[in-house]
Amino acid sequence: MNEIDRAYPEGKPLTRPAVPAMDQILGRKFPMLDHGFIRVIDYMGDEGAIVQAARVSYGQGTEAKSSDRGLLRYLMSHHHSTPFEMCEIKLHVKLPIFVARQWIRHRTANVNEVSARYSVLSREFYTPAAEDLAPQSLTNKQGRAGGYSPEMAAVLQGLITDACNSSFNVYDAMTKEVDGPHAIYPLSRELGRIVLPLAAYTEWYWKIDAHNLMNFLRLRADPHAQWEIRVYAEKICQILQDWMPTVYEAFCDYVLNAKSFSAMELGLLSAYLAKPVNGPEHAGMTARELQAFKDKLGWA
Amino acid sequence: MNEIDRAYPEGKPLTRPAVPAMDQILGRKFPMLDHGFIRVIDYMGDEGAIVQAARVSYGQGTEAKSSDRGLLRYLMSHHHSTPFEMCEIKLHVKLPIFVARQWIRHRTANVNEVSARYSVLSREFYTPAAEDLAPQSLTNKQGRAGGYSPEMAAVLQGLITDACNSSFNVYDAMTKEVDGPHAIYPLSRELGRIVLPLAAYTEWYWKIDAHNLMNFLRLRADPHAQWEIRVYAEKICQILQDWMPTVYEAFCDYVLNAKSFSAMELGLLSAYLAKPVNGPEHAGMTARELQAFKDKLGWA
Amino acid sequence: MNEIDRAYPEGKPLTRPAVPAMDQILGRKFPMLDHGFIRVIDYMGDEGAIVQAARVSYGQGTEAKSSDRGLLRYLMSHHHSTPFEMCEIKLHVKLPIFVARQWIRHRTANVNEVSARYSVLSREFYTPAAEDLAPQSLTNKQGRAGGYSPEMAAVLQGLITDACNSSFNVYDAMTKEVDGPHAIYPLSRELGRIVLPLAAYTEWYWKIDAHNLMNFLRLRADPHAQWEIRVYAEKICQILQDWMPTVYEAFCDYVLNAKSFSAMELGLLSAYLAKPVNGPEHAGMTARELQAFKDKLGWA
Amino acid sequence: MNEIDRAYPEGKPLTRPAVPAMDQILGRKFPMLDHGFIRVIDYMGDEGAIVQAARVSYGQGTEAKSSDRGLLRYLMSHHHSTPFEMCEIKLHVKLPIFVARQWIRHRTANVNEVSARYSVLSREFYTPAAEDLAPQSLTNKQGRAGGYSPEMAAVLQGLITDACNSSFNVYDAMTKEVDGPHAIYPLSRELGRIVLPLAAYTEWYWKIDAHNLMNFLRLRADPHAQWEIRVYAEKICQILQDWMPTVYEAFCDYVLNAKSFSAMELGLLSAYLAKPVNGPEHAGMTARELQAFKDKLGWA
């Protein structure tokens, strides 16, 4: 294919694409919550690799897109997801178990997690900061709303910390080696751990392609996601921005901050709207993007 | 959990959910294109099974939804996809190889295809009907547009039919057993088949859950999909409607006929729109759905 | 294809395959551990459906196999896994969270789990029976070995029960509604739950195809799996046997109780062995199976 | 975790692991069949990355393994597959469509294929070399056996080449732009392509993790795989060897050249064998590997 041959002239030696902004943060621990972190261990591909994969698929068809930026935005807005699958990232994450349980539901990823059957976990658990504690929302069955007085927050923090410490006390007593006449332990680690709280920290390596990463971010950087996983998702959004700034911009425009209107809502919209003779400014959209907008509203 | 116990009282014997409209079409061949077909071989679960799975997850949180219909529409419009994964369908499909090559890209499905290494394929290939032949679109790099005169269509049909018949002639000559002094064949089937055209028909069993089925339909019942796969997708839409009428209605409202507005388009919309004092009718939406609409536009 | 047409004569109405032994246990709760259970909610397909899918793929090639049993055993021993993917089972499982965390690692399955963001969990947690408590194995880093005196076991049970009850006390205090002047709670459920122990029970609907089910069983019914997940796997083995007795037999013969010999071990074996003139009985294997055995050892 | 901290000391900057042998072949086209090729576009991770991921999971449990080599072999022989999933490779492959149809059945991979809806395919198709043409096997329903005389091979090559050229002639005539009074074409590309033979070449980017790559190789480098896909698999075996020599060695020892013995075969083996007092040499196995061998045979 000409497109590919143009991208990869035969004689020219190939080097792996590198992203300086990523190379700079490689291995650096970004603290999360009270004891957690995220760090980038490795990555594969860059925005150029996505463009290239798209050009393999669509050949000359992609030339119409004036630029790489235009092509990336076109792919994003039209849900052409396979080129984004051509890039991969590997993170090392330390996170509370209750967050890990939500995270692992994203099945199209690779995971190597610390095993508490093999290793004794150290005494690290999550205690929400005072400002992150909130009562049960009355309108949102799965959420929190409002806040507590400093005194009340301190009481709740105390309850949580004491409960988790007590659990770890029992865990340690049962699983740690002891000397002396009463040295009847240790209980097997795989059993001892069952008293540990969901607030306990675990760690894993997590590897995922850029398309499925954005699926993860769409759901977990959403305001409906639990705050404790959202902080991780928001940090990963920044990492994605470092890795692929144009892709991240398109992701914000077309996914994160986009909204879907149902068939009925579209009907209402056309009823509310009449085609304006002199409309407002076009919000920085290209002619093509503007046309797509008009098409959605049924304007000629 | 109370919700589950309510759904499945311990003493009460359980029977597999059955959908009479599906049982009626089980095994019936619906003709597709000139030699293909679709038929339902088996299915698992019904709308009740989706509701039940959702109630397992969300517990009392789902009681707020006044009805099963309300819950199903809520799940669909909020992209809560896992309950839909609880139902499964198995189809037997006969389809041209070039359609099969698009179809197989949907990875979350199970497939058993006829092997042309094991069996000699019979002489069946797709010739487009006169009205389905169309020139290359000048605006859509991947599509067709316009049509041909009956005479021209007949010429093209003749070219296609002759080319495919010639290929099958060579295939048959190379792979079929022959007697007599020149009986130097047959060539191994796995090699003989390589001359066969992409128009040749193949068959498979295809099994998929309802969520991923709708992903398939969203992409393949779309006007941008090639017409020859779209006719299959549209038939499967009807089967889905037989299987799960409320789900299908919600799928049309919130997915098939919905449109996504980018962040920029949402900005334009609010510029065009002022909150109307007396708006038009609410298009049959519930109070909750109407509120969701207003929320998308930033109205109080 | 003739094979398929033979299986599904056009005029003959089709009914979903049913397995009486499964219909009989549908919905019945099989108790697991101290508070858990497994029950079959639904299933799709039977051994006939596997045979049929294989015949679709392999056409006349499968006629050589004298019987359905022979074909099923051939598929199993040759790792032809796709026909087994044509059957599906849906279970309702109640299990401790630490078991759920191992279980969920099997990604090719569908899950709807109780959400502790939506619902308050009831006070149910796992306490190992006295005879299931065991010290850390000294040779197996991830296992247990030996046992405890009744007195020591009681002490450990007491430690576990007290720790879990204390955690639930704090959870209840923080998340349950209270009246009166000190009614400062409830804390949002999504936060309250973080003090709960990994021994707490959760529930889910779990749906998987027969091939991936056997992958699960291969790993989780293995002696290296933690005992608490193994009891679930062993019960599911029985359910598989009810569902597909011939498949289960082949699974035991060719997977569960089979062993893989490395290239080096195969070399040792041939050194140890000389082709016996009069060997022992053939252990009930067919002529074909016996030949496969000889082939593995390099005997003519 | 200590293991991870030891692997990644906080202060030390991290660089992406690189494999010189891979960097050297990056982008180089390895010719396959008559017009195809394979080339490595990118890779992520090396053997060290696998070791590290394993140490994350198993912690101190892996220290017992004296060396990285020992650990890699242990992981391979015990089917601990997740650490291998931590590495990824991206290939650019040009291959006949009938090979692509087998290849794509491996679902856990990412693919961007040339679209014949967008681009006109160039006249390239596979013609088997004389020595690769073979009659249908009489014993293996899906295979070939024997060979042809040079004259007969030439006849078959002629038949295949002529058939494919004729198909491309029609394709070109229908889809290429023509001038003049008879310029009634071009037919849309998505329709014109249906006359093309399965021998026609296509291209794709294919990205997969090392674990699933080895699954692919296990099936496609197997003697039962069609020869035309096997040559690709064998080349990828060499690439894997360049990338991860120790892993490749373990893969050969424990997977490619290993054999599984059924429960019945194991019974026969113990009947044939008596525990030898002075056995043969241990074939280079470590003490642990030798013990595993004895365990499989039920020797103390």
C160 to A101: CB separation less than 8 angstroms, yes or no: no
Closest-CA residue to C102 (of C142, C145, C151): C142
Residues C56-68, mean pLDDT to the nearest whole number = 67
Mean pLDDT of chain B: 88
Structure-model confidence comparison of residues A7 and D247, the more confident one: D247
Chain B residues touching residue C60 (CB < 8 angstroms): 118-119
SS3 per-residue string spanning D127-192? CCCHHHCCEECCCCCCCECCCCCHHHHHHHHHHHHHHHHHHHHHHHHHHCCCCCCCCCCCECHHHH
D195 to B199: CB separation less than 8 angstroms, yes or no: yes
Question: Could you tell me which residues come within 8 angstroms of residue C266 by beta carbon, excluding any fewer than 6 positions away?
Answer: C296, C297, D257, D258, D259
- Amino acid symbol at C176: K
The listed range with the strongest mean pLDDT (A212-216, C118-122, D254-258) is A212-216
Cα C254 to Cα B102, B281, C218, C259, distances in angstroms: 36, 66, 11, 8
pLDDT at B232: 98
- Amino acid symbol at D290: L
CB B54 within 8 A of CB B75: yes
Catalytic residue among B39, B189, B220, B288: B220
C114 to B56: CB separation less than 8 angstroms, yes or no: yes
- The Cα C71–Cα C80 span in angstroms is 11
pLDDT at B1: 44
B280 to A271: CB separation less than 8 angstroms, yes or no: yes
**Closest partner CB to B257 (pick from A253, A254, A263):** A263
CB A101 within 8 A of CB C194: no
Per-residue pLDDT tens digits for B167-194: 999 999 998 876 555 445 689 999 999 9
pLDDT greater than 60 at residue B60: no
C195 to A198: CB separation less than 8 angstroms, yes or no: yes
Residues B219-224, mean pLDDT to the nearest whole number = 94
Q: How many CB atoms lie within 10 A of CB C86?
A: 27
Beta strands in chain D (DSSP E): 30-32, 36-44, 88-96, 110-113, 201-209, 259-261
- The Cα D134–Cα B288 span in angstroms is 68
Q: What is the DSSP letter of C300?
A: -
Neighbours of chain A (3+ CB pairs under 8 A): B, C, D
pLDDT at D56: 86
- The Cα D205–Cα D151 span in angstroms is 38
User: What is the enclosing helix (H) or strand (E) of A96?
Assistant: strand A88-96
Give counts: helices (H), strands (E), chain A: 12, 6
pLDDT at C67: 86
Chain A residues touching residue C135 (CB < 8 angstroms): 185-188
User: What is the enclosing helix (H) or strand (E) of D228?
Assistant: helix D227-243
pLDDT at A18: 96
pLDDT at B58: 79
Residues B3-15, mean pLDDT to the nearest whole number = 65
Question: Could you tell me which residues come within 8 angstroms of residue D246 by beta carbon, excluding any fewer than 6 positions away?
Answer: D47, D68, D69, D72, D73
B289 to A77: CB separation less than 8 angstroms, yes or no: no
Q: Which of B86, B87, B120 to mutate to test the interface with C (most CBs of C within 10 A)?
A: B86
Question: Could you tell me which residues come within 8 angstroms of residue C173 by beta carbon, excluding any fewer than 6 positions away?
Answer: A159, C185
How far is B135 from chain D, CA to nearest CA, in Å?
A: 4
Query: Rounded to 5 degrees, what are φ and ψ at D62?
Result: -90, -5
pLDDT at C1: 44
- Amino acid symbol at D300: A
Let me know the angle formed at the C-alpha of A181 by A177 and A183, rounded to the nearest 5 degrees: 25
Closest-CA residue to C247 (of C76, C88, C78, C63): C76
Instruction: Give the model's confidence band at D180: pLDDT under 50 very low, under 70 low, under 90 confident, else very high.
Output: low
Token match 């890039």: residue? Answer: A87
Structure-model confidence comparison of residues C10 and B91, the more confident one: B91
How far is D49 from chain A, CA to nearest CA, in Å?
A: 9
pLDDT greater than 70 at residue C5: no
pLDDT at C171: 96
Question: Could you tell me which residues come within 8 angstroms of residue D76 by beta carbon, excluding any fewer than 6 positions away?
Answer: D247, D250, D251, D253, D254, D255
- The Cα C75–Cα C56 span in angstroms is 13
Question: Could you tell me which residues come within 8 angstroms of residue B39 by beta carbon, excluding any fewer than 6 positions away?
Answer: B25, B27, B28, B29, B30, B91, B92, C8
Give the chain C residue whose CA is nearest to the CA of D222: C78
ipTM value = 0.90
pLDDT at B10: 61
pLDDT greater than 70 at residue B9: no
Residues B29-38, mean pLDDT to the nearest whole number = 98
Catalytic residue among C55, C73, C193, C220: C220
pLDDT at D186: 86
pLDDT greater than 80 at residue B252: yes
Instruction: Give the model's confidence band at D292: pLDDT under 50 very low, under 70 low, under 90 confident, else very high.
Output: confident
pLDDT at D140: 82
Q: Which of C58, C255, C262, C289 to mutate to test the interface with D (most CBs of D within 10 A)?
A: C262
pLDDT at A1: 43
Query: Rounded to 5 degrees, what are φ and ψ at D9?
Result: -60, 135
Mean pLDDT of chain D: 88
CB D116 within 8 A of CB D189: yes
Token match 């919209």: residue? Answer: A269
Judge if the upstream peptide bond of residue A186 is cis by omega within 30 degrees of 0: yes
Chain D residues touching residue A14 (CB < 8 angstroms): 26-28, 41
pLDDT at A11: 60
**Closest partner CB to C110 (pick from B86, B203, B204):** B86
Per-residue pLDDT tens digits for A186-197: 899 999 999 999
Per-residue pLDDT tens digits for C134-165: 998 888 888 888 889 999 999 999 999 999 99
pLDDT greater than 60 at residue D176: yes
CB C221 within 8 A of CB C210: no
Give the chain B residue whose CA is nearest to the CA of D174: B156
Q: What are A197's strand-pairing partners?
A: C197
Least confident of A202-206, A289-293, B171-175, C277-281: C277-281
Structure-model confidence comparison of residues C27 and D279, the more confident one: C27
pLDDT at C12: 64
B42 to C45: CB separation less than 8 angstroms, yes or no: yes
Cα D273 to Cα C35, D266, D270, D285, D299, distances in angstroms: 47, 10, 5, 20, 10
The listed range with the strongest mean pLDDT (B285-289, C201-205, C258-262) is C201-205
Residues B39-52, mean pLDDT to the nearest whole number = 96
pLDDT greater than 50 at residue A277: no
C112 to B49: CB separation less than 8 angstroms, yes or no: no
Residues A57-84, mean pLDDT to the nearest whole number = 82
How far is C173 from chain A, CA to nearest CA, in Å?
A: 9
CB A57 within 8 A of CB B138: no
Structure-model confidence comparison of residues C218 and C179, the more confident one: C218
Residues D146-169, mean pLDDT to the nearest whole number = 95
Instruction: Give the model's confidence band at A282: pLDDT under 50 very low, under 70 low, under 90 confident, else very high.
Output: low
- C-alpha Rg value of chain A to the nearest Å: 25
Chain A residues touching residue B260 (CB < 8 angstroms): 254, 258-261
Token match 């150290």: residue? Answer: A122
Chain D residues touching residue C55 (CB < 8 angstroms): none
pLDDT greater than 90 at residue A66: no
User: What is the enclosing helix (H) or strand (E) of A218?
Assistant: helix A210-220
How far is B207 from chain C, CA to nearest CA, in Å?
A: 7
pLDDT greater than 90 at residue C201: yes
CB D130 within 8 A of CB D82: no
Chain C residues touching residue D276 (CB < 8 angstroms): 272
- The Cα B159–Cα D172 span in angstroms is 11
Residues D90-104, mean pLDDT to the nearest whole number = 98
Q: Which of C72, C265, C288, C297 to mutate to test the interface with D (most CBs of D within 10 A)?
A: C265
How far is B166 from chain A, CA to nearest CA, in Å?
A: 28
C296 to D265: CB separation less than 8 angstroms, yes or no: yes
B82 to C112: CB separation less than 8 angstroms, yes or no: yes
**Closest partner CB to A273 (pick from B272, B283, B284):** B272
D159 to B170: CB separation less than 8 angstroms, yes or no: yes
A190 to C143: CB separation less than 8 angstroms, yes or no: yes
Q: Which of C8, C26, C37, C112 to mutate to test the interface with B (most CBs of B within 10 A)?
A: C112
Chain D residues touching residue B184 (CB < 8 angstroms): 148, 152, 155
- The Cα B156–Cα B146 span in angstroms is 15
Chain C residues touching residue D77 (CB < 8 angstroms): 262
Chain B residues touching residue D193 (CB < 8 angstroms): 98, 198
D188 to B163: CB separation less than 8 angstroms, yes or no: no
Structure-model confidence comparison of residues C170 and C65, the more confident one: C170
Judge if the upstream peptide bond of residue C276 is cis by omega within 30 degrees of 0: no
pLDDT at A3: 54
Token match 């507005």: residue? Answer: B261
- The Cα A141–Cα B62 span in angstroms is 9
Q: Which two tokens stand for residue D216?
A: 């692919």
Chain A residues touching residue B271 (CB < 8 angstroms): 279-281
Helix, coil or strand: residue A109 = coil
pLDDT greater than 70 at residue A135: yes
Neighbours of chain B (3+ CB pairs under 8 A): A, C, D
Q: What is the DSSP letter of D94?
A: E
Sheet holding C30-32, edge to edge: C30-32, C36-44, C88-96, C201-209, C110-113
- The Cα B70–Cα A129 span in angstroms is 38
The verdict on whether A73 is a catalytic residue reads no
B260 to A257: CB separation less than 8 angstroms, yes or no: no
- The Cα B1–Cα B65 span in angstroms is 18
Per-residue pLDDT tens digits for B61-119: 555 556 899 999 999 999 999 999 999 999 999 999 999 999 999 999 999 999 999 88
pLDDT at C138: 81
Give the chain D residue whose CA is nearest to the CA of C62: D141
pLDDT at B66: 63
Of chain A, the percentage scoring pLDDT greater than 90 comes to 67
B253 to A266: CB separation less than 8 angstroms, yes or no: no
How far is C205 from chain D, CA to nearest CA, in Å?
A: 24
pLDDT at D146: 87
pLDDT at C62: 53
Mean pLDDT of chain C: 88
How far is B265 from chain A, CA to nearest CA, in Å?
A: 6
